[in-house]
Amino acid sequence: MSGEVILKTEGLTKHFGPIKAVDGLDLEVRRGDIYGLLGLNGAGKTTTIRMIVRLIRPTRGRVLAFGEDVRSNRLSVLNRIGAMVEIPAFYPYLSGWKNLELLYGLSGGRDRDRLKEALELVGLASRGGDRVRGYSQGMRQRLGIAQALLTNPELIILDEPTNGLDPQGILDIRKLIQRLNLEQGVTFLVSSHLLHEIELTCNRVGIVHDGRIRIQGEVRELLSSAVHVSRVRTTPVEAARRAFASLGIEIAVQYGDVFRLRCGADRLADVDAALHAAGCRVAELTPGRVTLEEFFMAETRKPDGGPHAA
């Protein structure tokens, strides 16, 4: 990763009357990132994306893309961006191909091979001639991704790209994103509330909550910084409690002979040795691993401590 910031929002704010949809949001997407924008429904993800592509005007703050203010350089910026905002909408009386051809034409593109390639990339080559009216939501979603790819953009913004897709479709899109990122160096900003998908797809994430970035950073670093909880099943219980105390490890929960300990995989060897030394019989020892989902839930349940980065 080169580390060059190609998309940045500074204090981005949008008020709809008394409602603060986005409230001073600062995010940074670096060249080569697959950046996941995570948040609950209504957290402000789509409003943020709409402000980035200037579908709506920020109440305050600004968006910088490729070092330029999007407000004053919208055309040059949008020449380098492909975007799909929310559920893609097309002209239902036109075929998928014709929709793409017309939209591509607006960017000055005429290359029919590129249209064909985009349809093939999203697995719609055989249905391109059908009217969009007859497309399923998953097919529309694929067509939406295809239109975002048309101009070979440097940055692709996808808002909930796997909405309405079946498991195979989700897998295909994930692979497509990773392939374009790896082979062509395309940077992605992907918003979603499918945490598992984001964890598998993205290298960096930002968690949006109540219109603000609660935390952003490398997925690996964020998860390793989280408190892990390992699971141990052992008897006798009292001897085990003393062994844990001797190691200074806190018991999160105990039910029967099952303990959940606040420690990561790196301490489990010590735990095993201490338990054996205390005469305990160990039936199970499972290293703790925090998933993005658990991390996300923990972050969004915290009282608001303001945005910070890992």
Partner 1 sequence: MPRRVWRLVRFELAKLFRQKLPYVVLFPIFAAVALVILHGMDVGEARENPMLRNGFEYLTASCLWALRLVSVFAVVLASLSLSSEASFGTYRMVLVRPVTRTDVFVSKVLVVAIIVAALFILTVLVSWGLLHLVHGFWRDGHYMSPLTDGKFTLMGEEVLTDPNRTKAVLQADFFRALRLSFLPLLASGFFGLLISSIFDNTGAAVGLAMFFAIFLYGFASVERTAGRYVFINSLEYGFTVAGHRARGLSDKKWEEEEIERTWVVPLLSGAAFLGAAYVIFVKRDILT
- The interface region with partner 1, picked from 55-63, 119-127, 183-191, 225-233 by CB under 8 A, is 55-63
* 98 binding partner 1? (CB under 8 A): yes
* 107 binding partner 1? (CB under 8 A): yes
The dihedral sign for the CA sequence 296, 301, 305, 307: positive
- Please report which helix (H) or strand (E) contains residue 197, including its range: helix 195-201
The least CB distance from residue 58 to partner 1, in Å, is: 10
Looking at residue 241, its amino acid is R
The least CB distance from residue 107 to partner 1, in Å, is: 5
- Which lies closer to partner 1 via its Cβ, residue 76 or residue 225? 76
- The interface region with partner 1, picked from 2-10, 23-31, 77-85, 185-193 by CB under 8 A, is 77-85
Strands (E), 171-250: 187-192, 204-209, 212-218, 230-235
* 102 binding partner 1? (CB under 8 A): yes
- Which lies closer to partner 1 via its Cβ, residue 102 or residue 298? 102
The encoded tokens of residue 41 equal 């429904």
Query: How much of the chain is in helix, strand and coil states, percent to nearest 5?
Result: 40, 30, 35
The site that binds partner 1 (CB under 8 A) totals a number of residues, namely: 33
* 269 binding partner 1? (CB under 8 A): no
Interface with partner 1 (CB under 8 A), residue from 57, 113, 255, 306: 57
Site string for partner 1, 115-154 (x = CB under 8 A): -----------------------------x--x-------
Is residue 89 exposed (0-12), middle (13-18) or buried (19+ Cβ within 10 Å)? exposed
* 245 binding partner 1? (CB under 8 A): no
- The interface region with partner 1, picked from 33-41, 82-90, 214-222, 270-278 by CB under 8 A, is 82-90
Place of tokens 């203010």: 69
Q: How far apart are CA 262 and CA 268, in angstroms?
A: 11
Parallel/antiparallel/unpaired status of strands 212-218 and 308-309: parallel
Interface with partner 1 (CB under 8 A), residue from 83, 194, 223, 275: 83
The CA–CA distances, whole Å, from 243 to 174, 183, 232, 271, 277 equal 45, 51, 12, 8, 8
3-state secondary structure (DSSP) of residue 155: strand
Interface with partner 1 (CB under 8 A), residue from 55, 283, 297, 298: 55
Residues in the site for partner 1, rule: CB under 8 A? 50, 53-57, 74-76, 78-79, 81-83, 85-94, 98, 102-103, 105-108, 144, 147
